[in-house]
């Protein structure tokens, strides 16, 4: 059953990657990246149980926090970039 | 008894997997950014809760169960914060939900989203100065 769940999560991650590659705006890509991070957290936990290496849950825990920090950092970067562009357009 | 717990956890695991695929399909096929965020939140809440509680039933009463609970708490806090930040900056920089009058949410033309152009040059193209 762990294998089935891992497979379904991998399918979902593939669909998410298609959105990230196709996404018309930067925000779609960030959204897809965020989803990919969440799916990765779940996948790491499931694979840990699949291989009876249950300590992998620790890594999933750290990954959840890191992927959150990444999303916020990229969003802040995009915001600053957009603000700079709009002031350049005014001047 | 343990058989019943196994069956319940399998049901939860497969439900979570199916929910994650549904979220992926939604993120791929929904028409605009905000409805895609709605699809993404299925993965962040329902799929995460189902998969993690399925694993929780397999783990039994142990330190692993507590860690799984911690993973769920982290996800619950971080994904909602990230979704809020994403929606806020998307609204600020010119993304308008479908079927909404741009004027009614204060979207102005000078804050329209600018797709970053070729500032980062295509690495396959060699600049003329270096030929």
- The predicted-structure confidence for B41-89, as pLDDT tens digits, reads as follows 999 999 999 999 999 998 888 899 999 999 999 999 999 999 999 988 8
Picking from B5, B12, B20, B29 by the largest number of A CB atoms within 10 A of its own CB, the best residue to mutate is B20
Q: How far apart are CA A73 and CA A87, in angstroms?
A: 21
Of B36, B79, B115, nearest to A69 by C-alpha is B79
For chain A, what percent of residues have pLDDT higher than 70?
99
Of A37, A64, A16, nearest to B68 by C-alpha is A64
**What is B43-57 written as a DSSP string?**
IIIIIHHHHHHHHHH
CB distance from B49 to chain A under 8 Å? no
Domain boundaries, chain A: 2-90
Q: What is the pLDDT of residue B106?
A: 64
Q: How far apart are CA B86 and CA A75, in angstroms?
A: 7
Q: What is the pLDDT of residues A78-91, one digit of tens each?
A: 888 877 877 777 76
Assigned token pair, B36: 């895609």
pTM reported for the whole predicted model: 0.82
Which of B71, B75, B114 lies at the smallest CB-CB distance from A85? Answer: B114
Contact A54, A48 (CB under 8 A): yes
B81–A72 CB contact, under 8 Å: yes
Residue B113 contacts by C-beta under 8 Å, 6 or more apart in sequence?
A25, A26, A82, B93, B94, B95
Contact A47, A56 (CB under 8 A): yes
Q: How far apart are CA A55 and CA A52, in angstroms?
A: 9
Q: What is the pLDDT of residue A41?
A: 93
CB distance from A87 to chain B under 8 Å? no
Q: How far is CA A52 from CA A22, A57, B71, in A?
A: 37, 11, 18
Backbone angles phi, psi at B5, to 5 degrees: -65, -40
Range 1-40 of A in CB contact (< 8 A) with B: 1-2, 4-5, 7-9, 11-16, 18-19, 25-28, 30-32, 34-35, 38-39
Q: Please give the average per-residue pLDDT across A16-28, as a whole number.
A: 89
Query: Taking 90 as the threshold, does the pLDDT of residue A43 lie above it?
Result: yes
Picking from B66, B82, B89, B114 by the largest number of A CB atoms within 10 A of its own CB, the best residue to mutate is B82
Report the chain A residue with the minimal C-alpha distance to residue B12: A5
Q: What is the pLDDT of residues A53-66, one digit of tens each?
A: 788 899 999 999 99
Report the chain A residue with the minimal C-alpha distance to residue B30: A19
Q: What is the pLDDT of residue A36?
A: 94
């Amino acid at each position: 059953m762990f294998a089935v769940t891992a497979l379904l999560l991998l399918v979902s991650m593939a669909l998410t990657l298609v959105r990230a590659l196709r996404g018309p705006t930067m925000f779609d890509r960030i959204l897809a990246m965020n989803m990919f991070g969440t799916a990765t957290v779940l996948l790491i936990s499931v694979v840990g149980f699949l291989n009876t290496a249950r300590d992998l849950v620790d890594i999933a825990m750290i990954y959840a926090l890191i992927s959150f920090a990444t999303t916020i950092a990229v969003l802040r970067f995009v915001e600053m970039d957009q603000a700079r562009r709009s002031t350049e357009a005014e001047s | 008894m343990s058989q019943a717990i196994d069956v319940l956890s399998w049901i939860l695991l497969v439900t979570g997997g199916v929910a994650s695929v549904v979220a992926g399909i939604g993120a791929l096929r929904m028409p605009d950014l905000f409805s895609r965020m709605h699809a993404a939140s299925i993965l962040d809440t329902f799929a995460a809760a189902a998969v993690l509680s399925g694993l929780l039933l397999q783990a039994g009463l142990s330190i692993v169960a507590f860690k799984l609970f911690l993973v769920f708490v982290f996800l619950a806090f971080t994904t909602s914060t990230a979704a809020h930040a994403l929606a806020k900056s998307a609204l600020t920089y010119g993304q308008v939900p479908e079927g909404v009058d741009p004027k009614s949410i204060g979207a102005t033309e000078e804050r329209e989203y600018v797709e970053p152009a070729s500032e980062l040059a295509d690495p396959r193209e060699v600049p003329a100065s270096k030929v």
